[in-house]
Amino acid sequence: MSRAALSLVIVLLVIAAPGADTLAQSTAQPATEPSGVSVPVTLSARTVEGGAIIKSGLVWWIYKNDKTKEGNYPLVDTYRDATPTAALPPGAYRIAATYGKVNLIRDITVERGRALQEIFILNAGGLRLGAVTVSGTAIPPNSVRYDLFADETETDQFGNRKLVLRDARPGLVIRLNAGAYHVVSTYGDANAVVRADVTVEPGKLTDATINHSAGKVTLKLVNQPGGEALANTQWNILTPSGDVVKESAGALPSHILAPGSYTVLARYQGKDYTREFVVEPGESTQIEVVIQ
């Protein structure tokens, strides 16, 4: 990956960012609590050992550590407080903590008359994504999207990288387990795609800025040079080898394209008209196709 494709800034992670994503919503019914006197169990979490207690954004799932015949752990309770105190009868439990895309599971044993304070060390960090043009201008959030994949060592059954998050929103902190990730940034609705590898460090916020060198083209079919654009035109943008990059329709469609050579095919009233053109990095160009 070229250094020009990605800019990174790493700072200490802001712990109390509001609005956590929840990994999953359970539809299980709370399990019947075992008999006995309840014992207070206080739960809390830190992103790293010695770090501050997380103040918001946590979800806690408490299960009985005893699988049913179906192989599930019966749900006891769910808490959305950062530091809840659960009243649990003595017994074995499995506790899952989620913090954005971070998750950690721990088994505990509750004993009669012995209050517990369980602190989870999540080994988590944050990632904030942004994108700029070749001139350094920030790309509007609604014009770019990001797919986040796990490190290449984590693959699905087909050998592809495991998808962590699709359509990640730019400018927001994504809470993640510390480690390496692969970002696919798509600018516009065609082939302006940049890939970059980033590393999330525990207890820190990584700002990753993707640099796009794409250009903007506006298509126009006319009867004569400089004429009015003709409506009801069907468009196909092709690579030099004939692969379709983008299909669209209308008088003046605009698309963001990766730099390179293309052929545009305009279909109007049953006839086809073509023109070759080149997209330069960061340039905006009007491609005029003349019928005559």
Does residue 130 sit in the same domain as residue 180? Answer: yes
Residue 23 located in a structural domain: no
How far apart CA 62 and CA 93 sit, in angstroms, is 7
Contact indicator for 168, 175 with CB cutoff of 8 Å: no
Residue 156 located in a structural domain: yes
Residue 278 located in a structural domain: yes
Distance of CA 197 to the CA centre of its chain: 14
Residue 258 located in a structural domain: yes
Residue 29 located in a structural domain: no
Pairing state between β 39-46 and 116-121: parallel
Per-residue pLDDT of the chain (292 residues; tens, 9 = 90+): 444 477 666 654 433 333 333 223 333 444 444 445 899 999 999 999 999 999 999 999 999 999 888 889 999 999 999 999 999 999 999 999 999 999 999 999 999 999 999 999 999 999 999 999 999 999 999 999 999 999 877 777 777 889 999 999 899 999 999 999 999 999 999 999 999 999 999 999 999 999 999 999 999 999 999 999 999 999 999 999 999 999 999 999 999 999 999 999 999 999 999 999 999 999 999 999 999 7
Domain total in the chain: 3
Does residue 109 sit in the same domain as residue 154? Answer: no
Residue 199 located in a structural domain: yes
Does residue 108 sit in the same domain as residue 247? Answer: no
Q: What CATH number is associated with residue 266? A: 2.60.40.1120
Does residue 129 sit in the same domain as residue 203? Answer: yes
Q: What CATH number is associated with residue 181? A: 2.60.40
Does residue 194 sit in the same domain as residue 252? Answer: no
Does residue 10 sit in the same domain as residue 148? Answer: yes
pLDDT of residue 99: 97
Does residue 43 sit in the same domain as residue 97? Answer: yes
How far apart CA 165 and CA 149 sit, in angstroms, is 7
| Sheet strand arrangement including 144-150 | 163-168, 144-150, 179-187, 192-200
3-state secondary structure 19-39: CCCCCCCCCCCCCCCCCCCCE
Does residue 50 sit in the same domain as residue 116? Answer: yes
Give 114-127 pLDDT, tens digit per residue.
Answer: 999 999 999 999 99
Residue 20 located in a structural domain: no
Residue 24 located in a structural domain: no
Domain around 224? 215-290
Does residue 271 sit in the same domain as residue 194? Answer: no
Does residue 84 sit in the same domain as residue 157? Answer: no
Does residue 205 sit in the same domain as residue 244? Answer: no
Domain boundary among the residues 211, 236, 252 is at 211
